[in-house]
A = this chain, B = another copy of it.
């Protein structure tokens, strides 16, 4: 008998008929003698509708009440799935965050899991429960208030339960067949990956591939949880997210990801002296600006240009915080130049560690397509570039070709 965590996202439980079609997958695992911990999201659309109501009341809402409201969607799915499983003769019951309890910090709407008490669940499994249906995304603070884990938080619920129970596998069911070399909508010959390392998945998740919540990948990496990403509505093997050592053939580049939600801001003519950058980014961080890439050009007369990228929605807040810094005389600059028509394209692969020439191939490929690179940033297993938004598709297709991602796995 194995212990298995299965997680179904919002599109997998979007309606009773979709729920019915996914329960056969659960039934199969139960018939194989597995104890199943099932984590469910809210029915697709529910959470957005609830958030819409909250923000209609006030853009500055109390995150504690936000959590009360948005967590209700998962409670409904958990109850409905439990009833469906019962109607198939499976011993199932629903659990809410506070019932487990799933203890979290009190950072409402973005809480982190502190501790999972598995005694209650274990006892019920011992007494014959076959499936514990867990409302994902939610927990309880030390004050006894409901918390939520941030968008996509059900992935983290699933991985945390898999770690706490020492589950043999954590299967994340979604509406795609697995993790792809890039988005098949842009590059039709994108290939599904059989395996990908935690590190690569982490980069892909943080760079905008929406298949898994970043924190869930971190957690899986830390606790060595074997994570599988599968399609709820087909029977493929999905993608296994695992330790680097479990991947025999390491690709130099595993995937190409991109994000349109990027803007570039250039601070023109700022005096270049020690502490200037610290001061600029202090103001941006005070305003909670999510600065991603940074470059600095130094000119001859002691004035520099600093360029950074951030989510498009934060450009206005960024400008205000910089204007405040100027007004406070923390720094001075000639002007701000904003560019919202940019896209970030990243190539990710653990093979980069041992192979040189990857950056060169990337830049050469983009150059051959006459795509100008505006900003570059790199990590050990990733290279990201900012380009004109209109070149996004072309750049992704060209890079997919250049790194032979379509052919390699065909």
Contact = CB atoms under 8 A, between A and B. Distances in A.
A86 B72 contact: no
Contact of A75 (B57, B62, B68, B86): B68
B65 A53 contact: no
A236 interface: no
Interface string A66-83: 101101110110111011
A292 B93 CA distance: 37
A286 interface: no
A50 interface: yes
A65 B94 contact: yes
A87 interface: yes
A370 interface: no
A83 B98 contact: no
A75 B69 CA distance: 7
A222 interface: no
Interface residues of A, number: 35
A295 interface: no
B56 A16 contact: yes
Interface centre among A57, A78, A86, A93 (most CB of B within 10 A): A57
A67 B28 CA distance: 28
A54 interface: yes
Given A16-B53, A53-B16, A56-B16, A65 B87 contact: no
Prevailing SS type, chain A contact patch: helix
A144 interface: yes
B83 A65 contact: yes
Nearest to A84: B57
Interface string A186-203: 000000000000000000
B76 A16 contact: no
Given A75-B68, A96-B68, A62 B80 contact: no
B76 A62 contact: no
A223 interface: no
A83 B54 contact: yes
Contacts of A65: 79-80, 82-83, 86, 93-94
B76 A69 contact: yes
A145 B75 CA distance: 13
A64 B93 contact: yes
Contacts of A56: 16
Given A16-B53, A68-B96, 8 more contacts: A53-B76, A54-B83, A57-B80, A58-B87, A68-B82, A69-B83, A72-B75, A99-B144
Sort A-B residue pairs by CB-CB distance and give the 10 closest, nearest first.
A69-B79, A68-B79, A72-B72, A65-B79, A58-B87, A57-B83, A65-B82, A65-B83, A72-B75, A72-B76
12 contacts: A16-B53, A54-B80, A57-B80, A57-B87, A61-B83, A62-B86, A65-B94, A68-B79, A69-B76, A69-B79, A72-B73, A75-B75
